[in-house]
Homo-oligomer: A and B are copies of this chain.
């Protein structure tokens, strides 16, 4: 196995273990899960903390999420595209929140440490990906697509976070229905004001 492949295999094996045991994970557990000798880990990583850091970097990496957003079928109706995007983004956030919790961290690591990019840049990229996904349907919105993207992100954040949502997270269909339709019963265009 080439070193790069070995590195990937170790991170893949370590990821669920770090999500479960936090930094209390042992290299023995990681080696067992990867089906390799414990010493093999140290040919790729200087120590256990470096494996944990590599897992953090991977979980925060926005690229897989951006690829999933880019791959959403543009032939689907807007509502379904947004629901799919919400699933993808909730998935990522659940991983991030779960990792922070497992590590006993309260906020994301500083960019200099383990994050591939500053949070602002990542959020900008997600907003751009959502706006791109809205595409020509922007004309059916009463705000620019970029603002819909911002609001979607805010709803997903608080609607997914276990503590902020008081253990009552919103599901993707709920989030998209709030985002597009709101919660008032639609009446006619003229008689819309409550």
Contacts and interface: CB of A to CB of B under 8 A. Distances in A.
B180 A179 contact: no
A107 interface: yes
A182 B180 contact: yes
Interface residues of A, number: 44
Contact of A143 (B78, B159, B168, B183): B183
Interface in A41-80: 77-79
A22 B141 CA distance: 43
A185 B151 contact: no
A182 B185 contact: no
A141 to B, nearest CB: 5
A63 to B, nearest CB: 20
A117 interface: no
Given A77-B194, A107-B106, A166-B120, A184 B141 contact: yes
Nearest to A80: B194
A79 B179 contact: no
Contacts of A154: 155, 158-159, 164-165, 170
Looking at A168, A184, A186, the one whose CB has the most chain B CB atoms below 10 A away is A184
Given A158-B154, A159-B154, A186 B192 contact: yes
Given A106-B106, A179-B183, 20 more contacts: A78-B194, A79-B193, A123-B166, A137-B194, A140-B194, A141-B184, A142-B181, A143-B183, A150-B168, A151-B170, A151-B178, A154-B170, A155-B158, A157-B158, A157-B164, A158-B158, A181-B181, A181-B182, A186-B186, A188-B188
